[in-house]
Structure 1
């Protein structure tokens, strides 16, 4: 089997590689060539979460599982709160083929998912990017988004203003002006909004959003998490990575519980990629992508990392 250590990922997988892998995965899911297995998620106490996301891509001959979770005490120890590893198996024999460090891959695949939604659903003339959240993944989200539209400015809001320095520095490095604003001012300016928080209660409200906005909700992936007001999903045209996860552990769980949205009203983004759904229908339409994070994303990006690592000699081969 092959091992691709966490330390090697940064030199292997870039934003474009992650985008291509995730876009192809969403397309395969919509064609029913690939499917995810049920998510296993357990609370360990003190805010810790641990679980497994897995799936099979028949067309891509990929089978695997990501094991990991969220450990909020890690930051005090100098390590990131999200920890994970991706394991890849031969779909014909079940033999373990690779173990891949999953921490950076998780940030890259999550950012790739939102950027796929921006590429396919946002207005082409979008100029202002709004960021709700300034944690570890926010920089990856922002950088991936900048590849999809000619943004001229980034505005941001965070629960903890003292955490904004990392995001503002990354925006400055990208050569764009940055402004820390209220949620009301963020919604009034932004053409595209990415929410990337771990909040248990909505912060972004329906009243904050103007017509024509695209929102990528990327933080809600567990029962109880919530980033936006349910009324916003009732108003928007809603897309997702996987409908089953969207209504159970994604942002749509709250709108469904309140009877504002049904599963039938939510469209897999792969249908837009494949051309079987038109996506955005007008410049005034509000579109929302509920990015719950599926195992097939992790498997696809990890497989890409293994291919690149084997090609450049950084993969480690061991006998199991």
Structure 2
């Protein structure tokens, strides 16, 4: 078995490689060459933590495995560790034997950012100039860096429940040579051509009447039953895309719209269909597009498999007899 420690990931996985892996997985899912296993995600009743498993099998990429991990909200303040913790396990599809164990913390951040970035590439208006960020935590910085590579953005605007955290995304904007402005949500929705929402909220912050026609929204924080980042009515106005419909309607942003009969499951399109060319995606400059990014296990397997290959080539993979 090969081990790729967390400490090695930063030197192995790039945003470009993560983007390519995630885009490929979405396409394979839409072609029915890859499928995810049912997600297990539970509150464990200790440290307010959410813990679970995501896995699947990508026949096109021959990746089989799972990611184990979750969210420990007090980690940073109590232990000095990031709140999201995870590890990816890969298995040989031919034998079932374990192939690799890979540190999953940075990979999770990169693949989540890649997913919204893929949605921007395929769904946002080509002339998008202003990007709005809702959320300013650790993951938001990854989201913004990846998104800025997809369109010629000229300005970054942001809002966060805790305004003192906004310098996190202002720093990313400054590094990219772009101006940053802290705004209220109504202005953010009005001015932004692309909006990324990346919070852990259980109540919506972005309302339907905040959002202008032609906006692309990537909802990336809702991955658990009960979570919600945007008003249900917004999904009724938008054309809704997702990584996987089954997760979107049960643990994703669409769960509330489905429950309230605002949309139906067959209204939701898998982004892979747009990538494959079997769905047109955006059809007008006035259309609101919304990507419900729930985070599928196949994303984790794809980036982890890529990292293992690179680790072997660079001689940093640790081989153990297991």
TM over 0.5: yes
Q: Distance in 2 between matches of 1:188 and 1:234?
A: 18
**1:287 aligned residue:** 289
Q: Distance in 2 between matches of 1:309 and 1:150?
A: 33
**1:48 aligned residue:** 49
Q: CA offset at residue 220 of structure 1?
A: 0.0
Give unpaired runs (5+ residues) of structure 1.
none
Q: Which moved more, 1:250-259 or 1:308-317?
A: 308-317
* Equivalent runs, 1:295-306 vs 2, <5 Å: 295-306=297-308
Specify the SS of the correspondent of 1:248.
coil
Q: Distance in 1 between matches of 2:175 and 2:126?
A: 24
Specify the SS of the correspondent of 2:41.
strand
Question: TM-score, normalized by length of structure 2?
Answer: 0.99
Q: CA offset at residue 298 of structure 1?
A: 0.2
Instruction: Choose the corresponding residue for 2:317, options 304, 315, 318.
Output: 315
Q: CA offset at residue 171 of structure 1?
A: 1.3
Q: Distance in 2 between matches of 1:241 and 1:61?
A: 19
Question: TM-score, normalized by length of structure 1?
Answer: 0.99
Deviating 4+ runs (over 3 angstroms): none
**2:75 aligned residue:** 74
- 1:109-154 Cα offsets, whole Å, 9 max, x none, are 0000000000000001100000000011000000000110000000
Q: Distance in 1 between matches of 2:182 and 2:57?
A: 42
Give unpaired runs (5+ residues) of structure 2.
none
Specify the SS of the correspondent of 2:196.
strand
Specify the SS of the correspondent of 2:138.
coil
- 1:53-92 Cα offsets, whole Å, 9 max, x none, are 0000111111010000000110112110000000000011
Specify the SS of the correspondent of 2:225.
coil
Q: Distance in 1 between matches of 2:76 and 2:173?
A: 23
Q: Distance in 1 between matches of 2:20 and 2:276?
A: 14
Q: Distance in 2 between matches of 1:205 and 1:305?
A: 39
**1:190 aligned residue:** 192
Alignment of 1:202 with 2:180, yes or no, is: no
Alignment of 1:58 with 2:59, yes or no, is: yes
Q: Distance in 1 between matches of 2:40 and 2:270?
A: 22
Q: Which moved more, 1:157-166 or 1:97-106?
A: 157-166
Q: CA offset at residue 47 of structure 1?
A: 2.5
